[in-house]
Amino acid sequence: MIISRLILRNWKNFKELEVRLQERVILVGANASGKSNLLDVFRFLRDIAKPGGGLQKAVTDRGGITKIRSLAARKNPNVEIEVHLSEFGSDEVLWKYGIGIIQEPRGYRLPYLAYEKVWRGDQLIVNRPEDEDKSDKARLTQTYLEQINTNKDFREVVRFFENTLYLHLVPQLLKYPTAFTGPDLPGDPFGKGFLERVANVKENTRKSFLRKIEQALKLAVPQLTHLEFTTENGYPHIEATYAHWRPGAGKQKEDQFSDGTLRLIGLLWALQEGDSLLLLEEPELSLNGAIVSKLAALIHRLQKPRKRQVIISTHSSDLLNDRGISLNEVVVLEPANEGTKASVASDIEEVKNMLKGGMTPASAILPRLKPKDINQLTLEF
């Protein structure tokens, strides 16, 4: 399944947003335009739906409703999220899920539901607050997503949300694990536990994933000849062999890998792992432009057989120069006074015309996102 439409109200820097989403979605926007905040909606739904999660925890982990609600929110204080789910490659809406969240005006100021609705197709099957919610307000501090005995009729939706995978691998967390102690973040967004994840996959699957990654790395990383999973004193490692005149030499473990190699391994792993919604934050980081220019096609190839939606955020013109990217796959975020405006690039007349005139998505879209007075930057200091 994929999320085919996203509707938001008062979510972080989006006062109002409604966009259609394709199987592959590329989010672009200036710094602080809300790319990560948009991805966070899907992580938020995951945090509600996953075991040990829930509405209260998902909100608290984000610093409370005040940190979630848009600064531009006025009359309507609800934070509202609605997603439509469709089958990969189809326009038909199979499910709709919507919640409105509000904060208790006094007391513990807990977040509670203004409403929660689930539609199967067009049929409304959950419509809260129900009578029981009215007699017991505490019920509204939990969604039906997080309760097995209430979500039987839409378990498919729950599973879809909870399996969402987000990756923004920070190589330093892998290279210097002892320097970053403290509690792990929910869902391991920065890949600190990446090696454990690799270790936990069944051996045959792991071997097959790593063999594919090895083939890719041989092409992308000069001198790399072999990639292997090892364990040492019970700790998992990835070991690479580099071409060296002395056989047996040239072996390196992940703490010696370059940032780019590590990020590429993480990316290629995540693309192969599972069939759930995958969120990739700036996959171009640390990678050579020639590799980045292949990413969009690579994502397409790996998502297709798994019927898997992939949403990425990017600043990269190398990535967007791919003429195989359709304008309806690109969501453009443009900050304005009353919150960020999101539009699908195929709805922007000027961009469409430029593409017709032979320009690439990158050259037609990215210049729009430049801060207006950026040429003053060197003058101001």
Return the number of the residue (280 or 354) whose C-beta is nearest other proteins. Answer: 354
Minimum gap (Å) between residue 275 Cβ and other proteins: 37
Minimum gap (Å) between residue 131 Cβ and other proteins: 54
Contact with other proteins (CB under 8 A): which of 291, 344, 349, 361?
A: 349
Kindly write out the interface string for residues 258-297 of this chain, putting x where it contacts other proteins by CB under 8 A and - elsewhere: ----------------------------------------
Q: Does 149 bind other proteins (CB under 8 A)?
A: no
How many Cα neighbours within 13 Å face the side chain of 167?
Answer: 30
Minimum gap (Å) between residue 143 Cβ and other proteins: 42
Q: Does 355 bind other proteins (CB under 8 A)?
A: yes
Minimum gap (Å) between residue 316 Cβ and other proteins: 13
Minimum gap (Å) between residue 35 Cβ and other proteins: 19
Return the number of the residue (302 or 359) whose C-beta is nearest other proteins. Answer: 359
Q: Does 301 bind other proteins (CB under 8 A)?
A: no
Contact with other proteins (CB under 8 A): which of 265, 284, 354, 361?
A: 354
Q: What is the C-alpha separation between 195 and 266, in angstroms, rounded?
A: 10
Return the number of the residue (264 or 344) whose C-beta is nearest other proteins. Answer: 344
Contact with other proteins (CB under 8 A): which of 138, 179, 290, 379?
A: 379
Q: How many residues bind to other proteins according to rule CB under 8 A?
A: 20
Identify residues 308-337 at the interface with other proteins (CB under 8 A): 317
Return the number of the residue (18 or 350) whose C-beta is nearest other proteins. Answer: 350
Q: Does 368 bind other proteins (CB under 8 A)?
A: yes
Contact 217, 78 (CB under 8 A): no
State CA 187 to chain mean position distance. 12
Q: Does 136 bind other proteins (CB under 8 A)?
A: no
Q: Does 153 bind other proteins (CB under 8 A)?
A: no
**Residues at the site binding other proteins, with contacts judged by CB under 8 A:** 317, 349-351, 353-359, 363-364, 367-368, 370, 372, 375, 378-379
